[in-house]
Amino acid sequence: MWLSEPVQLACSLCQRVQNGLISKTSDGVQSKDDNSPVTVADWSVQATVSWILSESFGSSNVSIVAEEDIQNLSKAKADGVLETVVKTVNECLAEAPRYGLNGPKMALGTTEVLEAISRCNSIGGPAGRFWALDPVDGTLGFVRGDQYAIALALIEDGEVVLGVLGCPNYPMRKEWLNYHHRYHRIISKLTPSTSESWDKGCVIYARRGLAHSVGLRKQPLRVYSMVKYAAIARGDAEIFMKFARAGYKEKIWDHAAGVVIIQEAGGVVTDAGGRPLDFSKGIYLEGLDRGVIASAGANLHDKIIRAVDASWDSSAL
């Protein structure tokens, strides 16, 4: 099994949820303790990917760091959402053979789905092998019908060695990244369905040491989530910078897959001090200097680092 298949399956799941639950009813959206939205898709993707990895490699050999836990999902008031998650997971796994994957012999029950989600309880660290999964990176973009990504990365002894990014709404024409996805859908309905202009969705992957290089071009874009990493790897953008508010800690699942994909495409990702991101300290990117900077190439990256240093004290960054 190549790891793009579980992410492709997860993309299919997210498209179904976004086109159904989220667009027609608010029942598919809950709130986490930090007030960020979490949807049926988050839990369903986490359960699906966890189940597939465990079935493929053996549950005792799979350690996963992931964003969601089952606390909110298990609450009594979330009973309706839990039922929907179980249904969504089973509908998704029924499609597994289409992606060259083995599905369950019989539908998973509620307990099995909760076990798959809660199995993602690794805390990472500097030694050993573990997976970093962000089931829906950019949940706000997902809820709004805009850009989001499914991100899966394999980390060995603190180094990201494999990354997969699924971007279901990424348009094949990069110009459409500048428009809200709903506008894209309205305009696409006014043109022939055979038009390639409205094709969307991609899965980008890289294994360290096996580069998938692409041409890189200048084009400023505004997009949600790790789709920004995908835009640089595809050559649709050259730089992105993220400087979080004071006290915020970046989580490894928000960057791991995107970092290795950009690096294998010939780009560079560091903190604002020019140091590589450290994935060996647990679930957070500890010791981060100010923020994250990703660039299409080394020369450009050096210029950006110098420019940030020169302007930092006088800026509002």
Closest CA to 124 of 283, 293, 311, 8: 283
83 annotated ligand-binding residue? no
134 annotated ligand-binding residue? yes
| 139: annotated active-site residue | yes
Q: What are phi and psi of 231, to 5 degrees?
A: -60, -40
Q: Which of 42, 146, 236, 271 is catalytic?
A: 42
- At 146 the three-state DSSP class reads coil
254 annotated ligand-binding residue? yes
- CA dist., res. 86 & res. 36, Å (int): 22
**AA identity, residue 87:** K
196 annotated ligand-binding residue? no
| 236: annotated active-site residue | no
- The DSSP bridge pattern shows strands 129-137 and 64-66 to be parallel
Q: Which of 39, 48, 84, 139 is catalytic?
A: 139
Q: Which long-range contacts (CB under 8 A, 24 or more apart) does 169-175 make?
A: 169/145, 169/200, 169/201, 170/200, 170/201, 170/202, 170/227, 170/230, 171/198, 171/199, 171/200, 172/196, 172/197, 172/199, 172/200, 172/202, 173/197, 174/219, 174/221, 174/231, 174/234, 174/236
**Residues tagged active-site:** 42, 139
- Residues that constitute the known binding site for Mg(2+): 67, 134, 137, 254
- Residues that constitute the known binding site: 67, 134, 137, 254
